[in-house]
Chains A and B, each alone.
Chain A
Amino acid sequence: MSATENSVREWAHRGLAGERRALARLITLVENRLPEAAAVMRELTPHTGRAHILGITGAPGSGKSTLTNELIKEFRRRERKIGVVAIDPTSTLTGGAVLGDRIRMLENYQDPHVFIRSMATRGQLGGLAAMSNDVVRVMDACGKDLIIVETVGVGQDEVDVAKAAHTTILVEVPGMGDDIQAIKAGVLEIADLLVINKADRDGVERLNLHLQSMLNLAPKKEWSVPILKTVAAQGEGIAKLADQAEKHLTYLKQSGEYEKRERARLRDELLSRVREEISRRVLNREHSAGGLQEMLNRLEARSIDLYDAATVLLNQVAE
């Protein structure tokens, strides 16, 4: 066994034993897809599958982080061990990011059973969901039994992240008008719980009716999506929200939907991992003979078409 593998094993054991610094480092390894990542997942995977994964999504400014903070407190009262993955966008221009969700969750810093990790969307080849799912798995293996993934509900990538959760919570606020329609259209379909946050504002009933009518338009599901009102900044409505989240998990397990979703998610992830690996191999030999650059030259010269060029590249990396 190599030295690296030994040390991965040691760090994995420390993480599994609940050591927070080891958990933090294991997350870094998988998040950055460092060479150790595969070995980390090999060690940790047998210990995964125990956590309830909550996805929280909604427009910027809808109060997701404040809501997450309140849910942390509520679930701590229920003696759950909590992991949070808070995702903020990477600047496409500079590749940098400001990760500011944590600022709303500071009051839990002394609690060893709350672990919060900020993540940037980056431009990963494997996609954001692949990365965040791995981070969730690491937390799961290291003993977190309730994991909240908070993301901005914009773009397919982030919808995929929310989709990977067992229970997806979509946060809306009154008075935001038509700007959020775009978000609703994509995410409403995958929401298991709808939350009207900042429900002390004007326009709650209007939004309520609107959401209700959109739900009525959707195909009938076995789980009827509840609309819950919260004022996260005041802690109002949080216990009910937590109740509904737990109820939803029970529904998933009793209906057999849990296994179905799990399998569908694994399928997506496995396929995306395969795509990622192919892209990586293609890029690795980008400048070799018959590589990506040569294909690009030939495509520009119209001496090959995209289908054949792809076949050439695939045959090269298939070994």
Chain B
Amino acid sequence: MSQQPTSSDVALMNPPDAGRKIRVLIAKPGLDGHDRGAKVVTRGLRDAGMEVIYTGLHQTPEMIVEASLQEDVDVIGLSILSGAHNVLFPRIVNLLKQNGMDDVLVFAGGIIPPEDVPEILGMGIKAVFGPGTTLEDTARFIRENVRPSSGLAASSGEGR
């Protein structure tokens, strides 16, 4: 990072047709009440220039997918520490598929045992970030893996 941009730089970096901001939804599925990690990631991604929607604690898969649909997010980050990921993640992934939202990049974070990671990756969640992951790594991962555009051509929901 070279130097801090001024506000007018930001305005110029974002002319009306230069496109878009990466939109991210950070959600806490399930019943654990620990959202410090989710909030740190929310702030960190904001500081990386993304628009981050934080929906708070105790989210059902239905709530998460509905919010992602209405907000037309490019990325969903799921933070979970309760151990219920094996139940909740597949339901979220399936609901996304049902809604034609397979092109949304999903990553997970929190406390997830290493032996569960291959299965999670197998169901289409693109990364599992445990404790110690830097915000820079998370932001870079998103930039490198996010769908190229929210235009119509890029949408998998088209022509359903």
Q: Residues on A close to B: CB < 8 A?
A: 4, 7-8, 10-11, 20-21, 24-25, 27-29, 32-36, 90-100, 102-103, 106, 109-110, 115-118, 120, 122-126, 276, 279-280, 283
Number of interface residues of B (CB under 8 A): 49
In the complex, the answer to whether A120 meets B10 with C-beta atoms within 8 Å is no
Contact B56 A93 (CB under 8 A): no
B-side interface residues toward A, CB under 8 Å? 4-5, 7, 10-17, 19-21, 42-43, 45-56, 59, 62-63, 66-67, 69-72, 99-101, 149-153, 155, 157-159
User: Within 8 Å CB of B7, what residues of A?
Assistant: 92-93, 123
Please name all residues of chain A whose beta carbon is closer than 8 Å to the beta carbon of B69 when the two chains form the complex: 20-21, 24
How many residue pairs link A and B with beta carbons under 8 A? The number is 143
Q: Would you call B16 and A126 a contact (CB within 8 A)?
A: yes
A122 in contact with B14 (CB, 8 Å)? yes
Instruction: Find out whether the CB atom of A102 lies under 8 angstroms from the CB atom of B55.
Output: yes
Cβ A97 vs Cβ B70 within 8 A: no
Q: Inside 8 A of B155's CB, which chain A residues have their CB?
A: 25
For this complex, 28 residue pairs linking A to B, each with C-beta atoms less than 8 Å apart, are A4-B152, A7-B158, A11-B152, A24-B72, A25-B72, A25-B150, A25-B152, A32-B150, A34-B19, A34-B151, A35-B17, A92-B10, A94-B5, A94-B46, A96-B21, A96-B45, A96-B48, A96-B52, A97-B51, A98-B43, A99-B54, A100-B53, A109-B63, A110-B62, A110-B66, A117-B71, A120-B51, A122-B14
A152 to B103, CA, bound (A): 33
Q: How far is the CA of A115 from the CA of B66 in the complex (A)?
A: 10
Q: Take A24-B71, A25-B152 as given contacts and tell me if A100 and B54 are in contact as well, using a CB distance cutoff of 8 Å.
A: yes
A131 to B30, CA, bound (A): 35
**Can you list the 8 inter-chain pairs with the closest CB atoms, starting with the nearest?**
A123-B11, A92-B7, A96-B46, A24-B72, A33-B16, A32-B20, A103-B56, A95-B49
CA distance A182 to B11 in the complex (A): 25
Determine if B46 and A102 form an interchain contact, defined as CB atoms under 8 angstroms apart: no
* Docked-complex contact A96 and B47, CB < 8 angstroms: yes
- In angstroms, Cα B21 to Cα A99, docked, is 13
Given contacts A25-B150, A28-B72, A123-B7, contact A103 B14 (CB under 8 A): no
- Beyond the given A32-B20, A99-B51, A123-B10, could you list 4 further A-B residue pairs with CB under 8 A, ordered by the A residue number? A7-B158, A10-B158, A94-B5, A106-B63
A98 to B20, CA, bound (A): 16
Asked whether B14 lies within 8 Å of A102 as measured between CB atoms, the reply is: no
B46 touches A97 (CB 8 A): yes
Q: How far is the CA of A166 from the CA of B78 in the complex (A)?
A: 39
Residues of chain B with a CB closer than 8 A to A27's CB: 72
- Residues from chain A with Cβ under 8 Å of B71 in the complex: 24, 102, 117-118
With A20-B69, A99-B51, A103-B55 already in contact, the answer to whether A36 and B10 are too (CB < 8 A) is no
> If A106-B56, A280-B15 touch, does A96 touch B49 (CB 8 Å cutoff)?
yes
Q: Which of A98, A125, A276 contacts B46 (CB 8 A)?
A: A98
**Measured between C-beta atoms, what is the minimum distance from B5 to chain A in Å?**
7
Q: Which residue of B lies closest to A103 (CB)?
A: B56
Considering the complex, give the chain A residue whose CB is closest to the CB of B10.
Answer: A95
A42 CB, min distance to chain B CBs, angstroms: 15
Measured CA separation A27–B43 after assembly (Å): 25
> Which residues of chain B are near A4, meaning CB under 8 Å?
152-153
Q: Could you tell me the distance in whole angstroms from the C-beta of A56 to the nearest C-beta in chain B?
A: 19
B45 (CB) vs chain A CBs: closest residue: A96
* A276 and B16 in contact, given A98-B42, A106-B63 (Cβ under 8 angstroms): yes
A215–B17 Cα distance when bound, in Å, is 42
Q: Are A280 and B51 in contact (CB under 8 A)?
A: no
A28 / chain B contacts, CB cutoff of 8 Å: 20, 72, 150
Instruction: Name the contact of A24 in the complex, choosing from B11, B70, B149 (C-beta under 8 A).
Output: B70
Most buried by B among A29, A35, A116, A118: A118
B47-A94 in contact (CB<8A): yes
